[in-house]
Structure 1
């Protein structure tokens, strides 16, 4: 019997053990999509205690703690972080089978050298040892990234963001060993139906220094902000698309009418919302293509379902889940319009519903055009699917319906500076899968061939896209 999270965790074949320990384990990390705060990296923040770095804003943990019966005071409420940490330790033994059990103990091992299982009996000792480590320079924001050999951090930023912290990082010679790049996320612009749309237009008008009274003026302002992002190192864009809409494009005059209706607080028809979103996403995709940016599309969340939590705590607090709306028709329609003039950028498609894996992979295959290997990606298991079963299902369908060899691999999608062992989790799974394929005779036991496959999927493919450092 293997020890819990021992050296050969998940590595159940000789091939898997070789692939992980001799190839994947030492590779750097390109984390091309996350929600880390650039201000935290710019200031090289240190945390006072493990409760703060672990539990502040982490809706994964919040959901599980509520499920275990912890009251909100000790989850996201006014209790101090020692109380919240104690609550987390109290319920950790009940997390068996949930990826949080693996992630929590991988983080304790990798960052703090702690192999004890978190529980009420060990909480005091773990609290003291972890906090003593957090006081060291090795456990500042940058120190934590360096421990995991992170070469690229792709943050998530809104069009009106000043990017002042990215500028400060770029000018700081002490952090020249990693790239911290903003990613342009214009959700507020194309979600014309959302309550905050008019507020966004007002904010954008202030940032660009002129009024925005038409669709053309809105697009001009967005492109100006996009160029500001590119000037500050942007490599990728991101789009949260909870409801995927598609309608045949309409002319600018029709878009101006829709914009004016919304700005005068008139109700929009569903068709008008779809026309506006389709046209804006198509126009933005062309701008991304022209600037060599990667377009990411996160599809299929149903958000803010708990009205009580949303009213008291706001968004991103653990009230979101998987949607089951149609995707194949609108997604193919949207990508087809983006590709009509050959200006579809490199694209990563993620769907929160694992039942859509085959739809996403087969759709990605429709728009490969021979210009860039894996130009349209079936993105990694996202959110509820970044656990062993979810990642394996996604990669299996990609391998069977597309080309696994050109997969750009894992990302954290996290707000936590302790989340990077998730790349190890992913890499061990990749090696397990390939090792089992090898042992079963499904693929040849060719060390050179398999080593390259693991290196590419775990690092090199993403490095080629985001670091501009192709393999020699």
Structure 2
């Protein structure tokens, strides 16, 4: 019987097979957005068992377990690792149609050589086989990264982070993958959040002075950008549940900041004024330093209040939002573009309904001399599955230039997620191969192969200037 994950998995035409095997398969990976722990990389962490590395922190799997009715003790609770793995083995066969079914099979085969489909009948055998491999001294974070052929990793980091682990990694000459931070200032921009005042105090400790005014907040964040830049950072990221736009004055900004520091709440208009002004200030600084700016838009965070109080944020409860943000996003980008200070930007949407909106919008802010300056980012989060990737690729190809696309990223906390690049590459090649087979495009294979190589590696390598960037190694 042919293994479920075989060499031509998802490749439904001869052209698709050629494009994948001859052009895409062996390219290095550029993972320009992820949530990997830099400490785990710096310390070359090893693992005690398959549950730690495979289920720990994986929100996708946690949601599936909850949907199947599994008790929380077997998900984030105090059940043993063996018990948690057994529960996952019970649920996995019933994830058919969910990307977890494919991802899990890819991960087991790629990192453990296991082609059997995990089930409640064979879980003990697979648990033991995986743990035997994990127990080997070479099964560490750095070895997994190296084995996955990763050229560059960009983690996600708060402005108050001292980046000590990134510095440690740059001193490890034997580890060839470059790991750089991303500047993610969400907590500083969310002035209405209950934790904002506490965050201001943390930022004060880092910069060494009181942040008692709006201008001081700007000063503090700009100084942290300079620090990140000196540590090799050249990408920022913003998570925007809603995209604000509200103009203000210097005095109004100072007044509302003082009001918030007193513990008072702000109106939505005041909050939007603050976020808009600070966002534009940061965007101009990114442009000055030739950084790339990423905008992740449309998530509703922590909708389940009871579970948020029990488990905290980022535990698998965030969902897709349905807010309309096209007008405000245009105004934000135009606010930077008017003075020629719009940095290279990647736009990600969580709601696939807005695919065409973003695919069209990027065409209004491109710039001569920079190929694909404004990007419609790959299918993000709930969209990084087969249908979601296909929709994103199709929208971009219809309304922009797919050939300029910077391709896939993991957006993951797991060191086993690099198979998502394989998944993307197979889907991309199958789409292009399908166009050829249906007669929609001609079949000059070397040319199509070049486009595949560009999307999977070359475009990102050029866009982020990885061959000229002065990494600290």
User: TM-score when scaled to structure 2?
Assistant: 0.97
Report deviation, 1:116: 0.7
Task: State the 1:233 CA deviation.
Answer: 1.0
SS at 2:233 equivalent: coil
The question of whether the paired residues in 2 share the 8 Å contact of 1:137 and 1:143 is answered with no
Partner Cα separation in structure 2 for residue 466 and residue 108 of structure 1: 32
1:289-300 equivalences under 5 Å are 289-300=287-298
**SS of equivalent residue, structure 1 residue 139:** coil
Tell me how far 1:230 sits from its aligned partner.
Answer: 0.9
Matched, 1:165 2:168: no
Alignment of 1:433-444 (within 5 A): 433-444=431-442
Structure 1 residue 340, shift from structure 2 partner: 1.2
Q: Give the secondary structure class of the aligned counterpart of 1:390.
A: helix
Report the Cα distance in structure 2 between the residues aligned to 1:216 and 1:442, rounded to whole angstroms. Answer: 56
Partner of 2:312: 314
Is this contact kept in 2: 1:2–1:9, CA < 8 A?
A: no
**How large is the RMSD of aligned CA atoms in angstroms?**
1.2
Q: Indicate the SS of the match to 1:211.
A: coil
What per-residue deviation string (whole Å, max 9, x for no partner) do you get for residues 268-324 of structure 1?
A: 121111111111111100000111111000000001011121001000111111000
Matches for 1:144-223 after TM superposition, within 5 Å: 144-175=144-175, 177-223=176-222
Distance in 2 (alpha carbons) for counterparts of 1:381 and 1:139: 30
Return the offset for 1:91.
1.1
Q: Which residue is 1:273 aligned to?
A: 271
- Contact 2:300/2:318 (8 A) holds in 1: yes
Q: CA deviation at 1:371?
A: 3.1
Q: CA deviation at 1:2?
A: 6.8
The alpha-carbon deviation at position 34 of structure 1 amounts to 0.4
Report 1:96-107 matches (<5 A): 96-107=96-107
Work out whether residues 152 and 467 of structure 1, in 8 Å CA contact, stay in contact via their aligned partners in 2.
no
Q: Unaligned stretches of 5+ in structure 2?
A: 469-473
Distance 1:467 1:104 in 2: 33
SS in structure 1 at match of 2:30: strand
Offset, 1:212: 0.8
Give the structure 1 partner of residue 37 of structure 2: 37
- For the 8 Å contact 1:412–1:422, the answer to whether it is kept is yes
Q: In 2, Cα distance between the equivalents of 1:279 and 1:298?
A: 18
Give the alignment of 1:329-340 within 5 angstroms. Answer: 329-340=327-338
Residues 144-184 of structure 1: per-residue CA shift (max 9 Å, x gap): 11111011111000000010000000111121x11100000
- Secondary structure, aligned partner of 2:293: strand
- Which deviations, in whole Å up to 9, do the C-alpha atoms of 1:168-213 show, x marking residues without a partner? 00111121x1110000000011111111111111111110111011
Per the alignment, in what secondary structure is the counterpart of residue 138 of structure 2? Answer: helix
Tell me the SS of whatever aligns to 2:46. coil
Structure 2 counterpart of 1:468:
466
In structure 1, distance between residues paired with 2:358 and 2:427: 21
Superposed displacement of residue 258, structure 1: 1.3
The equivalent of 2:471 in structure 1 is none
Aligned pair count? Answer: 468
The question of whether the paired residues in 2 share the 8 Å contact of 1:212 and 1:218 is answered with yes
Alignment partner, residue 367 of structure 1? 365
Distance 1:466 1:140 in 2: 28
- The answer to whether the Cα contact below 8 Å between 2:5 and 2:115 also exists between their aligned partners in 1 is no
> Is 2:366–2:373's contact at 8 Å kept on the other side of the alignment?
yes
Shift, 1:3, TM fit? 4.7
**1:355 aligned residue:** 353
Return the alpha-carbon distance in structure 1 between the equivalents of residues 279 and 441 of structure 2: 40
Q: In the alignment, is the contact (CA less than 8 A) between 2:3 and 2:115 conserved in 1? A: no
CA distance in 2, matches of 1:80, 1:257: 53
Match of 1:59 in 2: 59
- Structure 1 residue ranges (4+ consecutive) displaced by more than 6 angstroms after TM superposition: none
- Deviation of 1:96 (Å): 0.9
Q: Residue 159 of structure 1: SS of its match in structure 2?
A: coil
User: 2:294 and 2:353 mapped to 1: Cα distance?
Assistant: 20
Give the whole-Å Cα distance in 2 for the aligned partners of 1:392 and 1:15: 17
Cα distance, 1:467 vs structure 2: 4.8
SS at match of 2:432: helix
| TM-score between the two structures when normalised by the length of structure 1 | 0.97
Note the C-alpha offset of 1:138.
3.3
* 2:7 maps to 1:7: yes
Deviates most, 458-467 or 117-126: 458-467
- How far off is 1:428 after superposition? 0.2
Q: Report Cα offsets for 1:89-128 as digits up to 9, x if no partner.
A: 0111111111001000100000010001101111111111
SS of the aligned residue for 1:184 comes to coil
Aligned to 1:393: 391
Aligned with 1:368: secondary structure? coil
How far apart are residue 326 of structure 1 and its match? 1.0
Specify the SS of the correspondent of 2:36. Answer: coil
